[in-house]
């Protein structure tokens, strides 16, 4: 996605145990857009290897900032209702998808 001449990756969140045929249909709303990560080329760095490592570290830092708050939910119990209206103690497994499609949008 393009925001003010900046490229961004889209981050979607879903629960990991949703069947694939439902999860892959946008009309089922099984995924939710939670964030954008702006991209950069770090053109001022002299070393390609250093630039690559800096980009990797930047990406992981951004993902930690976005997902750090919900990571504790997967480790602790959470009371959730199933499809048949029965309450269960759950340890939800979240799956994150970083969209690589390019969308053009001007703000």
The residues spanned by each domain of the chain are: 2-99
Q: Which residues does residue 12 pair with via DSSP β-bridges, in sequence order?
A: 33, 97
34 contacts 11 by C-beta, under 8 angstroms: yes
11-46 confidence digits (pLDDT tens): 887 776 778 788 778 788 888 888 888 888 888 888
Contact present, 60 and 37 (Cβ < 8 Å):
no
pLDDT in tens, 62-95: 888 888 777 777 677 788 887 788 898 887 776 6
Q: Which residue has the tokens 């759950």?
A: 90
* Entry pTM: 0.62
State the pLDDT at residue 106.
Answer: 36
């Amino acid at each position: 996605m393009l925001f003010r001449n900046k490229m961004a990756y889209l981050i979607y969140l879903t629960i990991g145990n949703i069947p694939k045929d439902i999860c892959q249909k946008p009309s089922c709303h099984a995924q939710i857009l939670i964030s954008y990560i702006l991209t950069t080329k770090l053109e001022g760095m002299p070393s390609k290897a250093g630039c690559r490592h800096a980009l990797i570290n930047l990406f992981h830092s951004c993902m930690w900032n976005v997902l750090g708050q919900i990571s504790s939910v997967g480790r602790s119990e959470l009371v959730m209702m199933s499809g048949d209206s029965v309450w269960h103690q759950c340890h939800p497994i979240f799956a994150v998808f970083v969209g690589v499609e390019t969308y053009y949008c001007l703000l």
